[in-house]
Amino acid sequence: MAALSVWFWNERFWLPHNVTWADLADPAPGVEYPKAGHLLSALPLAVGIFAVRILFERFIASPCAFLLHIHAASVHWRATPNPVLEKVFTSITKCPDSRRLDGLSKQLDWDVRKIQRWFRHRRNQDKPSILTKFCESMWRLIFYLFMFTYGICFLWKCPWMWDTHHCWYNYPYQVLTPGLYHYYVTELGFYWSLMFSQFTDIKRKDFPIMFIHHLATVSLISFSYANNMLRVGSLVMCVHDASDFLLEAAKLTNYAKYQRLCDFLFVLFAVVFFITRLVLYPLWILNTTLFESWEMIGPYPSWWLFNSLLLVLQVLHVIWSYLIAGIAYKALVRGKVGVIAAEMVVLLEVSDHRVLGHLPDQGPSSPIAQSASSRKSLSGSKLLF
């Protein structure tokens, strides 16, 4: 075990040239540098955040939903118990193709339409209610907004907010401050809780890409803490928090049927997303991590890994921006701006190529129905947030 620890914490990988772990021992009483062991406190914090979330959703979010007349809708049609179809549904596919439908029809002596109806009813049984989604989005809205507000207030007083060269002055001998420690550990605890809760939250088509996103984020936070890149790391976290709460706010207003407000919030979210992820992130963050740091401290192995993770996030930013722009463009071409937010929410919640049966206003002329009719041409857009 000792040999593994020595190999993992190899100074030549983690630290710039001519720097050792001994050099980063605490320089004076009450003054310390970041240590990897500090990150362990994020795990119990993640459990605490998850517990707070459960209490928040039950005692705050649910009453708010009831005030907005959002209730847990009951399933009107339940699939008739059938062991054969249940096995296909749970083990093979939730949306059988025509060939499998014909085989099941012969095996059960059922009409194909009846089997299709059974699968539709069975899928509807597993779909979360609007109340469940409202509570989940409200929790994320509050936490994202809190972390973004804290980040802005903290970074506003930091010199590296205004001149990114300060991220590298005297590196890696940069003292850990309480504000920076709390910002980092809270963000890390939250993303750990998101990784855990992904297996219990509403299942979406973007599960793999979101898991990669959370894993990359946790890795970035941990790596930047371990090799004392906290200053630039705090900028990365703040940029990512800037638009997330706006998307959750748009989803909440959609659930509450405030469509005009939903449209406005989605457009605002899209603008902030494009600015932060396609402008600020590459021109501000990647510029300092790739070029300014190269000039001031030079590259070393963990520097390459850190920047590789940042570039992974940038690739995801480009993918998501393309999907958002595609939705907005198609809605604007149709001349119906109100479709934008509705289509966005639908594509976020599409399951098994079916639009949720309990969404409001699903007549043939409704924005949601129109967005559903176009989702085949936007099949790639299911990989969202």
Residues 351 and 248 in one domain: yes
In the block, tokens 């001998």 appear at: 173
Residues 106 and 120 in one domain: yes
Q: How many domains does the chain have?
A: 2
Q: Does residue 96 lie within any of the structural domains? A: yes
52, 64, 287, 372 from 60: Cα distances, Å: 11, 6, 42, 32
What are 262-291's pLDDT values in tens digits? 888 888 998 999 999 999 999 999 999 999
Residues 368 and 290 in one domain: yes
Beta bridge partners of 28: 31
Q: Does residue 20 lie within any of the structural domains? A: no
Residues 122 and 133 in one domain: no
* Of residues 213, 263, 267, the one with CA closest to residue 240: 213
Residues 120 and 150 in one domain: no
Q: Does residue 31 lie within any of the structural domains? A: no
Residues 300 and 239 in one domain: yes
Instruction: Determine if the peptide bond prior to 159 is cis (ω within 30°).
Output: no
Element (H, E) at 312: helix 301-333
Q: Does residue 6 lie within any of the structural domains? A: no
Residues 259 and 184 in one domain: yes
Residues 244 and 95 in one domain: no
What confidence tier does 237 reach under pLDDT thresholds 50, 70, 90?
Answer: very high
- pLDDT beyond 50 at 77: yes
**HEC secondary structure over 187-227:** HHHHHHHHHHHCCCCCCCCCHHHHHHHHHHHHHHHHHHHHC
The Cα 380–Cα 385 span in angstroms is 13
Residues 216 and 363 in one domain: yes
Q: Does residue 29 lie within any of the structural domains? A: no
- Identify the pLDDT of residue 381: 32
pLDDT, greater one: 204 or 197: 197
Domain that residue 120 falls in: 83-126
- Identify the pLDDT of residue 194: 86
What are 299-355's pLDDT values in tens digits? 999 999 999 989 988 998 998 899 888 877 776 666 555 555 555 555 544 332 322
CATH classification of the domain holding 98? 1.10.10.60
- pLDDT beyond 60 at 195: yes
Residue 139, number of CB atoms within 10 A of its CB: 20
Residues 234 and 223 in one domain: yes
Q: Does residue 74 lie within any of the structural domains? A: no
Q: Which residues of 309-332 are buried (b: 16+ CB within 10 A; e: fewer)?
A: bbebbbebbeebeebbebbbebbe
Residues 291 and 320 in one domain: yes
Q: Does residue 200 lie within any of the structural domains? A: yes
The Cα 47–Cα 270 span in angstroms is 32
The angle at the Cα of 58, spanning 54 to 62, to the nearest 5 degrees, equals 135
What are 9-29's pLDDT values in tens digits? 999 999 998 899 998 887 778
Q: What is the pTM of this model?
A: 0.79
The Cα 266–Cα 347 span in angstroms is 14
Q: Does residue 15 lie within any of the structural domains? A: no
What confidence tier does 167 reach under pLDDT thresholds 50, 70, 90?
Answer: very high
Q: What tokens appear for 173 in the block?
A: 């001998």
Residues 310 and 218 in one domain: yes
pLDDT, greater one: 353 or 162: 162
